[in-house]
Amino acid sequence: MRTKSILAICILFIAGLTLSFVKDNIWGSKFLTVNKDGSITYFPDEKGNIIPDFSLVGYHHGLKEIPKVNIVKTIQPISGDAGKLIQTAIDEVSNMPLGANGLRGAILLKKGAYSIAGTLSIKTDGIVLKGEGNTADGTKLIAAGKGLRSLITIGGKGRITEAGNRVKITDKNVPAGAKSFQVSSSKDFKVGDKIIVYRPGTENWIHDLQMDRIVARDGTKQWKGEDYNLSFERAITAINGNKITIDNPVVMAMEEQYGGGEIFKYEYKGRLKEVGIENILFESEYAHDTDEDHGWVAVAFNHIENGWVDQVTSRFFGYSCVSLGNGAKNITVKNSKCFDAKSVITGGKRYSFNNDGQQNLFMNLETTEGRHDYVTGAKTCGPNVFYNCKARKTHADIGPHHRWASGTLYDNIDTDGEINIQDRGNWGSGHGWAGVTQVVWNCKVKGAAIQNPWVSGKNYAVGVQGQKLKGRLEGKPDGEWEGMNKTDLQPASLYQAQVKAARLAGQNRDSPLRLH
């Protein structure tokens, strides 16, 4: 008995040491802490900037589950070009009445191969195109023959137009992460209004950012203030006197010295909503590995709000599996793959999952043979999120590609290449500073260059595992690095922690499925 007791004590002692060791390895960020109740406390820098809340992105801000849509049309594979058959079905469903849920119905493409010589277009609300599997024995849509094109385009028309007078933001500084600010007058606004938070580009801002003196080469264009007027789409959630509270945070500092900011109500007439693509394999025919006269984008979205792509795979396209234009807002792209691109490996090629829009969510994705696998374009306005994504056989870097994207979270990205947020100098026609308020959280990389711009905010590298790189240009300010090559960061996912915190705060009480 004594021997057994001693053995039990030893086991408990060793277990205690093990638990203590595991606990000691766990670490948290100096920028925020997750409290016992799941709420998050953020710690501002000297100018009041915090890491923003990225939780309200994706389909209906993540507050609604992607719907299961009733099938109203079923199509069987045919020999020859199936493009006309599928487009006719899309047009028929487009003429059906909208349901109370904003949906018309789903078109089911049964298992088999569908050869398509042109482009399929969805131009009406409430249509879902779905297959019976995104593998070779499922539903396969083939971009047949020659012609650089998107295989499916989803989009309406129009643009942001002002629907009221502009009102000045009166705070001298609205820091990144803020969800409220003072305005000169709130009398013309009400809770629920859709507004633009407008941040003007000014010449003194360009000068202080040093983007008016990019080291020039043939084709280099220096930045101009009027080209960098930024419009962030938001909704008003509260008004208290002249204090306006908005749903999604400010993602770059709005400073009086650089023109401050304004708000105004807006319309976007012609913008689509409630369109989805599900469970399909897309392939492009090609002549050889560097062929550039074939299918370019599998699924392209623009001028649409609240849509989704789920469980699709693309192979052999020259540009991307899914590409979102700057008029695409609150789109969720998830559980999808982009494999084996065919193109020259240079220039504007192989942007596997591309985002130029606002408040979009990319999650649970995988790529091979891409250049810029998870990427944003010029002047992309956040928040936007890439979460739990993998990239292999990469040919360039992940991250904001050029010209000042603001407010992107790269969370649990696993790549055998690089994630870079830097001054790209005269690459392209003058890429310059790629972005601000870019947060790289718990990512695995071969290497990463994370730099801060000269003014207007910071970029963050928290828990990055890999090599720290100098970046392309010497003498640029270092980013906010923390916990490099340390494992066991808590929270392991910032996005998931923020989703949980928002739900617990009551913002998302109707959305138990936002945790993945």
> Residue 68 belongs to a domain with what CATH number?
2.160.20.10
Give the residue numbers spanning the domain of 254: 161-267
Same domain, 234 and 317: no
In tens digits, the chain (516 residues) has pLDDT values of 444 444 444 444 444 444 444 456 999 999 999 999 999 999 999 999 999 999 999 999 999 999 999 999 999 999 999 999 999 999 999 999 999 999 999 999 999 999 999 999 999 999 999 999 999 999 999 999 999 999 999 999 999 999 989 999 999 999 999 999 999 999 999 999 999 999 999 999 999 999 999 999 999 999 999 999 999 999 999 999 999 999 999 999 999 999 999 999 999 999 999 999 999 999 999 999 999 999 999 999 999 999 999 999 999 999 999 999 999 999 999 999 999 999 999 989 999 999 999 999 999 999 999 999 999 999 999 999 999 999 999 999 999 999 999 999 999 999 999 999 999 999 999 999 999 999 999 999 999 999 999 999 999 999 999 999 999 999 999 999 999 999 999 999 999 999 999 998 875 444 433 333
- Indicate whether 41 belongs to any domain: no
Same domain, 342 and 194: no
**Torsions phi, psi for 476 (to 5 deg):** -90, 150
Task: Tell me the C-alpha distance between 411 and 385, whole Å.
Answer: 8
For 408, other C-beta atoms within 10 Å of its C-beta total 29
Same domain, 303 and 221: no
- Indicate whether 7 belongs to any domain: no
Same domain, 217 and 278: no
Number of domains observed in the structure of the chain: 2
Same domain, 134 and 181: no
Task: Tell me the C-alpha distance between 492 and 463, whole Å.
Answer: 9
Q: Read off the tokens for 131.
A: 């297959």
- Indicate whether 465 belongs to any domain: no
Nearest CA-CA partner of 389 in 368, 360, 358: 368
Q: Is the dihedral of CA 253, 254, 256, 258 positive or negative?
A: positive
Q: Read off the tokens for 477.
A: 């300010």
Same domain, 86 and 217: no
Residues 36-66 as b or e (16 or more Cβ within 10 Å = b): eeeebeeeeeeeebbbbbbbbbbbbbbbeeb
**Among residues 267, 296, 317, which one ends one of the domains?**
267
- Indicate whether 118 belongs to any domain: yes
State the Cα angle at 53 between 392 and 230, rounded to 5°: 85
- Indicate whether 501 belongs to any domain: no
- Indicate whether 48 belongs to any domain: no
**Among residues 339, 359, 379, which one ends one of the domains?**
359
Same domain, 300 and 336: yes
Query: Taking the CA atoms of the chain, what radius of gyration do you get in angstroms?
Result: 24
First-residue to last-residue Cα distance in the chain:
49
**Among residues 359, 389, 404, which one ends one of the domains?**
359
Task: Tell me the C-alpha distance between 356 and 384, whole Å.
Answer: 10
